[in-house]
Amino acid sequence: MSTTDRWTRRRFLGASAAVPLGCWATKSSAAEREPSRVKIDRIEVFPVRYPTVGYFKFFQGQDGSYGRPAVIVKLSADDGTIGWGQAVPSHTWSYETLETDTIAIRDYLGPTLIGRDPLDISGAHAAMDKALAPSFTTGMPIARAGLDFALHDLAGKLAGKSLAEMWGLSRGGPILLSWTVNPQSLDEVDKLIDDGWQRGYRNFNIKVAPDPAFDAELARRVRRRVPEGFLWADANGGYAPDSALEAAVKLADAGCDVLEAPLRPNRIRGYQALKKQGALPIFMDEGVVTPVELEEFIRLGMLDGMAMKPSRCGGLASNKRQIELVGEYGLAWLGSGLSDPDISLAAHLALYGAFGLKKPAALNGPQFLDGSVLSRPLVIRDGFAEVPRGPGLGVEVDEGKVAELVRRAQAAKKTRT
């Protein structure tokens, strides 16, 4: 696609929503329809920090630490089968932290699952609803996602099915990826693009806000270097309403294809104005956790589509329904993440593969993180990610590697104190 044939708003939305609606019809898991004789017997949590590569604005810890915090979840059934999950908090992105997610999973959400049928995922979510009261929406959704991933992994292993097979879909994939450009100054832009290009990436997403002029120049520089790539601007809710309207026009003129999360989600009139302005397709992200608020925001005319993130939405069950919902409304969706490490990344890949993601996914864990707790690392090659094969999430965790990450996190904490 040439620069003179870039996606128009209507053309982009039509192509992104092209998967047949029948594929999006709500389906309960085959595993959930047949009760299991085994029960959830034990839940363990392992707070860790993955080593990082390069600069990313969400990795700076409150105590001066730097790394990607994560809570690894081990869910054991009484027959010895194990499901693995992972919560990925970041205090600079949400109110959840490594410490609060550890406590929420260990002391509140996790205990409600002991003794439950591991195949009854909807029942598990109903139990967790009672364990922590909601605020505007589901309480501690990032922590809850860690348990949801572990539940799906355990259910899939017990049923001998991949997530796609549990949903009655094909595995799909590979997933085309997008490289994140997050410069601290414009002088860094060319090198950041080169880093992605050398690893086979041809599509890029840029971090923007609060300065429309800086952001427009950033977009122009990236577009000049990648005239045919998909260019996605993500503001993480960082614009004021007036600045967002200005930025949307400037970013469109500079060659961006979509604008994600220009405002905080409670700026309802601001989103309505942006959608009415029509300079770029407007995608929401932060603040949409369940299908309930997503449908409300759709009906309020606030968005053209959603940037999906199972790790933000309380897990796969909620995000799967959101993909179905945007399809029912004829809207578009993109695949994104929270700089997810290996276990959480596997869950994202399984969901996006099963639902046939069309556009490049902003899954930048492989870009910014170093290390893995998997027995066999995920396959990331030439700007594509393979969807894992096998039951559940399709990956196997090396418990020795988990123990080593825990040891390193504890040693680093002692050094800082």
pLDDT in tens, 162-172: 999 999 999 99
pLDDT tens readout for residues 63-98: 666 789 999 999 999 999 999 999 999 888 889 999
pLDDT bracket for residue 413 (50, 70, 90): confident
Q: For residues 287 and 371, state if they share a domain.
A: yes
Q: Is residue 190 within 8 Å of residue 224, measured between CB atoms?
A: no
Instruction: Copy the structure tokens of residue 66.
Output: 């730097």
**Closest among 362, 394, 391 to 378, alpha carbons compared:** 394
**Closest among 62, 252, 199 to 244, alpha carbons compared:** 252
Q: For residues 107 and 206, state if they share a domain.
A: no
Tell how far CA 208 is from the center of its chain.
Answer: 18
State the total domains in the chain.
Answer: 2
Q: In this structure, what CATH number is given to the domain that contains residue 61?
A: 3.30.390.10
Q: Is residue 395 within 8 Å of residue 341, measured between CB atoms?
A: no
Q: Is residue 235 within 8 Å of residue 9, measured between CB atoms?
A: no
Q: What per-residue confidence (pLDDT) applies to 54?
A: 75
Q: Is residue 409 within 8 Å of residue 47, measured between CB atoms?
A: yes
* Better pLDDT: 282 or 54: 282
Tell whether the model's pLDDT for residue 395 goes beyond 70: yes
Count CA within 13 A, CB hemisphere, residue 347. 37
Q: For residues 72 and 87, state if they share a domain.
A: yes
Q: What per-residue confidence (pLDDT) applies to 35?
A: 74
Tell whether the model's pLDDT for residue 7 goes beyond 50: no
Secondary structure E strands in 102-242: 175-176, 179-181, 204-207, 231-234
Give the 3-state secondary structure percentages of the chain, helix then strand then coil, rounded to 5: 40, 15, 40
Which structural domain range is residue 136 located in? Answer: 30-163+398-411
Amino acid letter, residue 3:
T
Q: For residue 221, tell me if it sits in a domain.
A: yes
Q: For residues 377 and 263, state if they share a domain.
A: yes
Q: For residue 210, tell me if it sits in a domain.
A: yes
CA terminus-to-terminus distance, the chain: 54
Q: Is residue 206 within 8 Å of residue 181, measured between CB atoms?
A: yes
Q: How many angstroms separate the CA atoms of 215 and 145, rounded?
A: 32
Task: Give pTM, 2 decimals.
Answer: 0.91
Kindly state the average pLDDT of the residues 188-202.
Answer: 97
pLDDT tens readout for residues 365-384: 999 999 999 999 999 999 99
pLDDT bracket for residue 355 (50, 70, 90): very high
Sole residue written with tokens 């965790």: 397
Q: Is residue 16 within 8 Å of residue 359, measured between CB atoms?
A: yes
Q: For residues 182 and 227, state if they share a domain.
A: yes
How confident is the prediction for the chain on average, in pLDDT?
91
Q: In this structure, what CATH number is given to the domain that contains residue 356?
A: 3.20.20.120
Q: For residues 187 and 296, state if they share a domain.
A: yes
Give me the residues paired with residue 76 across strands: 42, 82
Tell whether the model's pLDDT for residue 21 goes beyond 90: no
Q: How many angstroms separate the CA atoms of 57 and 333, rounded?
A: 25
Q: For residue 390, tell me if it sits in a domain.
A: no
pLDDT bracket for residue 58 (50, 70, 90): low
Q: For residue 416, tell me if it sits in a domain.
A: no
Query: Residue 315: helix, strand or coil by DSSP?
Result: coil
Q: For residues 141 and 253, state if they share a domain.
A: no
* Distances in whole angstroms, Cα of residue 8 to Cα of each of 15, 227, 250: 11, 15, 15
Supply the angle between the helices 212-225 and 241-254 in degrees, to the nearest 10: 20
Q: For residue 329, tell me if it sits in a domain.
A: yes
**Closest among 6, 16, 9 to 358, alpha carbons compared:** 16
